[in-house]
Structure 1
């Protein structure tokens, strides 16, 4: 349980920290709108930073959303299930879908970031960001966090099912 707690504390720290990027993103959008409307100024890098902030919020918020059970799910039957049945569905869903998806995303995201680094990929627009490598590195990092949170979730559900079976 100590390992699960550490994983969940780390994921929660990242998720709560990233939530503050929403404030920065909103302020940046407001400044961008004012500069465009009042001064007729456009800065490509500001728009690109907005995209990157949104990407960070999504990528690094997803593992925290998983931890807090905030991902979208079809609750036609799930909400009526017993705790044991929900744990079974969550365990198998994690093992069959989440863990393989996270591994695939980690591998392909790493290749994607590596290719961006090799090519020196940056903005094609004048005045844009010089490199896209840092944001692309967040893809495999997010997948790693999702994988770790998925493993913690699977282990917790496994423990819950074991407790249910020993209580019978």
Structure 2
């Protein structure tokens, strides 16, 4: 899972460059060519959403998320692993609820052919599929973190 998170994070990094190109094209098309594009702003928004969904597993893997370090920072490696092995289940619960709601939202979008109410009117199904896949990947990454913490706890006992 760690390798997959790295690969997905590497891919997500390039989405920012794609988003910048789309926005530059929008400005060029509007200011130089005098043609207003209907799709560029929404494409940039979808790209940004895809970026932060895809960055989730990598952020968890690299521990790049926000953490309250008042007590945690003073603990040793084994103490941190014990706390992490317990609190990761709160994250998994939250992500499971998010996945449940996401699947429900995806089902609604699929059945009703939901589209954004704009001139371009893109379907919301692809971004909702991506969101659900990424939440599932984050759950898998959390499970990998749990097993890594359990390994740290048991190795601490062996020493």
Alignment of 1:34-45 (within 5 A): 34-45=28-39
Identify the match of residue 153 of structure 2 among 144, 161, 168.
161
Q: CA deviation at 1:121?
A: 0.9
Give, in whole Å, the separation in 2 of the partners of 1:76 and 1:35: 51
Return 5+ residue gaps in structure 1 as ranges: 1-6
Partner of 1:27: 21
Given the alignment of the two structures, is residue 89 of structure 1 paired with residue 106 of structure 2, yes or no? no
Note if contact 1:106-1:140 (Cα within 8 Å) is conserved in structure 2: yes
Given the alignment of the two structures, is residue 48 of structure 1 paired with residue 33 of structure 2, yes or no? no
TM-score using structure 2 length: 0.93
Number of residue pairs matched by the alignment: 159
TM-score using structure 1 length: 0.88
Cα RMSD, aligned residues only: 1.4
1:106-162 residue CA offsets vs partner (Å, 9 max, x unmatched)? 111111111001110112112332x11000111211111010000000000011001
Identify the match of residue 15 of structure 1 among 9, 15, 28.
9
Q: CA deviation at 1:49?
A: 0.8
Give, in whole Å, the separation in 1 of the partners of 2:37 and 2:109: 23
Given the alignment of the two structures, is residue 70 of structure 1 paired with residue 51 of structure 2, yes or no? no
Give, in whole Å, the separation in 1 of the partners of 2:120 and 2:92: 40
Return 5+ residue gaps in structure 2 as ranges: none
